[in-house]
Structure formats: structure tokens, C-alpha cells
């Protein structure tokens, strides 16, 4: 299978946008798309939780707190960079948001843009299915290009060659922010409180969030490391699968492979979760008729 179209797509997506480059700021298309998609999902979840809260409260929604932009922006930043803030000190590497304010600024700006949109439709099968492709490519960029680099280029040879450190870093960086969100009621319409629960990011399951978003991080990073021989362990493991020495895959082709794999996983999850909701809605309409 030829990955050239996807390789060229990625090359174009990670090139700095000229408009920002004029001001000396490097922001690529894929980061901007990922930020807008991310903030849109959070707003959809927040509005869904608000509607459910009002239905439960009835005529007395006394506990509803007026939303503020700083709270919503802090929610986005916490989820986005929370995992990196946890893993950075463990690796002895400064998190990216400490070294540069560009990425946090992109997410704050994306949050402002999303909040200015008058109406955003709720999640549905028809909207989430095509966006699963976007999710696959943006998440592959995180798991294949951003997460492995601080580990495999680490100054300590022990950390740089440790497959466990690589997989653990991928797991924590990709999901640590959502775990923090599950501990604090960031997205609910009520005041902030500690609340130990599964993150609200994937409320329609069972096991949708766990099986896909949580497990895909180390799985995809492991797949990328295996086919590219990112560490000696993966090269040895890959060579054990055949009699001849296996040639490592080009990193760009490997990233395209991981993006297609993630797209398949995201699409499967979307169909599985939202098809059930669609069927339930059809059944309810038939009963009302």
C-alpha cells in the first residue's frame, strides 16, 4: 500500500501557516484544526451536561453557576497540557507550554472562536463519522511525532532506550488531562468540586472511552516505534518476526499507517456508540406515533 498521498498531506499540514510566520510565530494547520475540534467537543459536552442538569433539577436549578471564559479556557488548557505537566517532571524535561506560549495561545484563541459561534449542533452519527478521520490524523500527529521525541532523544541512555518509558509517556501525556478533568467538575454547570469519576469526554459507552481513547495512545506509539525501530527493543522485537533482517519503515510512512489505524478505530467507535443512540431515537419516535 502506498502512503504517499497521506505523507504529502501531513507535510502540508505541519508546515507553518504563512499568516502567523509573518509575525514570527510558527503555527501549523494540523495544530489549528486539532485545537478547534478539541474546543468544539468540549463545548458540546458542556452544553449536553447543562441540559441534563436542568432536566434533573426541574424548576429549581439553584446550583447552576454562570459560565465564564476564563473557566472554559482553563478547562481546555488543563485537559490539553495536564498529561504533559505530569510526565514532564518525571522525565526531567520541561513541558512545551513552559518553553513557549504559542500552543497555549492557539488553544485560548480556539476557545474564543468556538464560544463566538451562536449554535453548535450536538454530537451525532452524521457529524462525528466524517470527523473521525480528522481525529485519527490529529491524534497520530500527537502519538507519533510529539510524544516519542522527548523520550528517544533523552540525555539519559536508560530513558532513551526504555520501551516502558515510551509507552507510559504516551499513556499519561495523551490521557492525563482527561483524568484530571474527571477529578474536578470542569465541564458541569455547577461550581468546581472534586468528583472522582470517569471523564465525561466519552459519556456514551460502555467501554467506548476506555477501549479507544485510553488504550490507543500506548498501542499506536508502540506500533510506530515497532515499525520504525525507534528503540533497540523494538528493532529486536521486529526482527524476531522473520528470518531476514527487517528494514525499518520511514517515519513519515509509519505515521501515515498509524493515522489510518486510528481513523479505523475512531470510526468503529463512532458507529458503535452513536448507532445505538440513533436506533433508540427512532424507536421512541415510532412509539409516540
Q: How far apart are CA 10 and CA 233, in angstroms?
A: 27
Q: For 169-218, how does the pLDDT look when each residue is reduced to its tens digit (9 = 90+)?
A: 999 999 888 888 877 778 888 777 776 555 444 444 444 455 677 788 99
Residue 36 pLDDT > 90, yes or no?
yes
Q: What is the mean pLDDT of the chain?
A: 84
Phi, psi at 184, each rounded to 5°: -125, 135
| Three-state secondary structure readout of 100-118 | CCHHHHHHHHHHHHHHHCC
pLDDT of residue 243: 55
Cell numbers representing residue 169 in the block: 509517556
Q: What is the DSSP secondary-structure string of 223-252?
A: HHHHHHT-SHHHHHHHHTTSSSPPPPPPHH
Q: Is residue 28 predicted with pLDDT exceeding 50?
A: yes
Indicate the Cα dihedral angle 129, 181, 205, 222, nearest 10°.
Answer: 70
Q: Determine the longest span between alpha carbons in the chain, in angstroms.
A: 72
pLDDT in tens, 225-242: 999 999 999 988 877 765
Amino acid at each position: 500500500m502506498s502512503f504517499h498521498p497521506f505523507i504529502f498531506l501531513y507535510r502540508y499540514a505541519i508546515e507553518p501557516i504563512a499568516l502567523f510566520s509573518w509575525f514570527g510565530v510558527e503555527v501549523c494547520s494540523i495544530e489549528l484544526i486539532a485545537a478547534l475540534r478539541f474546543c468544539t467537543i468540549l463545548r458540546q459536552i458542556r452544553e449536553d451536561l447543562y441540559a441534563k442538569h436542568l432536566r434533573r433539577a426541574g424548576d429549581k436549578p439553584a446550583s447552576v453557576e454562570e459560565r465564564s471564559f476564563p473557566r472554559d479556557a482553563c478547562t481546555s488548557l488543563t485537559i490539553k497540557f495536564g498529561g504533559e505537566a505530569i510526565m514532564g517532571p518525571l522525565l526531567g524535561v520541561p513541558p512545551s507550554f513552559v518553553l513557549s506560549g504559542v500552543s497555549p495561545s492557539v488553544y485560548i484563541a480556539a476557545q474564543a472562536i468556538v464560544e463566538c459561534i451562536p449554535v453548535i449542533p450536538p454530537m451525532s452519527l452524521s457529524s462525528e463519522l466524517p470527523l473521525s478521520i480528522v481525529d485519527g490524523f490529529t491524534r497520530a500527529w500527537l502519538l507519533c511525532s510529539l510524544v516519542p521525541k522527548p523520550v528517544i532523544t533523552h540525555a539519559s541512555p536508560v530513558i532513551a532506550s526504555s520501551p516502558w518509558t515510551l509507552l507510559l509517556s504516551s499513556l499519561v501525556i495523551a490521557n492525563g488531562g482527561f483524568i484530571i478533568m474527571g477529578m474536578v467538575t470542569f465541564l458541569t454547570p455547577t461550581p468546581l468540586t472534586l468528583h472522582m469519576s470517569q471523564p465525561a469526554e466519552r459519556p456514551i459507552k460502555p467501554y467506548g472511552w476506555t477501549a479507544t481513547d485510553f488504550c490507543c495512545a500506548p498501542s499506536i506509539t508502540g506500533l510506530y516505534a515497532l515499525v520504525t525501530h525507534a528503540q533497540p527493543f523494538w528493532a529486536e522485537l521486529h526482527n524476531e518476526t522473520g528470518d531476514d533482517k527487517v528494514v525499518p519503515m520511514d517515519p513519515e510512512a509509519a505515521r501515515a499507517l498509524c493515522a489510518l489505524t486510528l481513523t479505523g478505530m475512531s470510526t468503529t467507535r463512532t458507529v458503535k456508540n452513536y448507532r445505538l443512540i440513533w436506533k433508540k431515537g427512532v424507536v421512541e419516535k415510532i412509539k409516540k406515533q
